[in-house]
Amino acid sequence: MSLSKTDSPKSAIRSRLSFSEQMRQFPWWAIIMIVALGISLFGMLGNDNYRAALNFIINPPTSTEMAFGIGIRNGVMMTLVTTLTAYVIALVLGLLLGIMRVSKNPVLFHASTLYVELMRGVPMLVLIIWIGFVVVPFLRQIFGQSFPLTGVQGAILGLGFGYAAYLAEVYRSGIESIPRGQMEAARSLGMGYAQAMRYVILPQAIRRVVPPLANDLVALLKDSALVSVVAVPEILQMARLFVSRNLRAIEGYNAAAFLYLVVTLIFIIVVRLIERRWNTNG
């Protein structure tokens, strides 16, 4: 039983989508979130403590230590740099691993499978702590302080190495979703395996996995908070620093949650746009 006047059967036939379907398609959730974020921002800006918290995260006092070897003071910027660095590593390494995972060569197959299962078998948080506090210090002990990686940088790389294992499986499923006839057609024309992969299989497979890859970018953005455990000065770490200095947990963590939501929302909107473009292109 419909409550709305416009939802009569007659108009349902006239307009292609029913009223309830139109209401469902409209991104109300985004509107509500944006409005809520706007109200929150307005409220926070009117409060000295919240202003101090936001300011501390985005534009910390110069006395705050910068991350070793990374000259970024802005917590939001640090979150973005961490996310994008790790994502680029994961995209490239993941593709390589994904190709190895479908290889008939036993060495390549087992090496990549070992890597993937190892990385997926350890919690990301443990992986980051392990690289930041065990691997990098160990390497520095061996190669001396001139070793070009700090624990902070190592943690960011670790995030990328860990995500590479997940993206490898995305690429692999994409490659395996291409019908066998494509490879056979390419090979029957005299192309080698690598040529067929490069010119025929991968262009189609990568197109198919753009939406899941984009989704993983958003997931990675949120997981970037994990590197705060090795004191990478990103949003969460700066919030923690603010709280420990000012003993204002509510304002500090609310500000952090707010900033994460804003960045995530922007990423999600961009991802949706990419997906839509991709879908209409077939």
Partner 1 sequence: MDDAIIRLVDVHKHFGRVAALNGINLEIGRGQVVVVIGPSGSGKSTMLRCINHLEKPTEGHVYIEGVDLEARTTNINQTRAEVGMVFQQFNLFPHLTVLDNITLAQRVVRKRDKVERDRVGMELLNRVGIPEKAGAYPGQLSGGQQQRVAIARALAMNPKIMLFDEPTSALDPEMIKEVLDVMQDLAQTGMTMVCVTHEMGFARAAANRIIFMDQGMVVEDTTPNDLYNNPQHERTRLFLSKILH
Q: Counting contacts by CB under 8 A, is residue 123 touching partner 1?
A: no
From CA 84, how far away is CA 2, in angstroms rounded?
48
Would you give the DSSP letter of residue 197?
I
For partner 1, the closer of residues 2 and 188 by Cβ is: 188
Place of tokens 């066998």: 180
The residue from 17, 199, 273, 277 that contacts partner 1 (CB under 8 A) is 199
Q: Counting contacts by CB under 8 A, is residue 280 touching partner 1?
A: no
How many of the chain's residues bind partner 1 (CB under 8 A)? 19
The residue from 64, 74, 85, 204 that contacts partner 1 (CB under 8 A) is 204
The residue from 15, 195, 244, 279 that contacts partner 1 (CB under 8 A) is 195
From CA 177, how far away is CA 204, in angstroms rounded?
9
First to last CA, the chain: 37
Question: H or E element: which one contains 278?
Answer: helix 249-280
The residue from 121, 179, 247, 280 that contacts partner 1 (CB under 8 A) is 179
Question: With contact defined as beta carbons under 8 Å apart, do 161 and 119 qualify?
Answer: yes
The residue from 103, 182, 246, 264 that contacts partner 1 (CB under 8 A) is 182
Would you give the DSSP letter of residue 66?
P
| Alpha helices for 18-121 (secondary structure H) | 19-25, 28-45, 48-58, 75-101, 106-120
Q: What are phi and psi of 85, to 5 degrees?
A: -60, -50
The residue from 191, 218, 262, 265 that contacts partner 1 (CB under 8 A) is 191
For partner 1, the closer of residues 201 and 238 by Cβ is: 201
Q: Counting contacts by CB under 8 A, is residue 203 touching partner 1?
A: yes
Shortest spacing between CB 104 and partner 1, in angstroms: 12
The residue from 110, 207, 245, 276 that contacts partner 1 (CB under 8 A) is 207
Q: Counting contacts by CB under 8 A, is residue 190 touching partner 1?
A: yes
| Closest to 220 in 3D by CA, of 116, 88, 113 | 88
Q: Counting contacts by CB under 8 A, is residue 282 touching partner 1?
A: yes
Contact residues toward partner 1 (CB under 8 A) are 179, 181-182, 184-192, 195, 199-200, 203-204, 207, 282
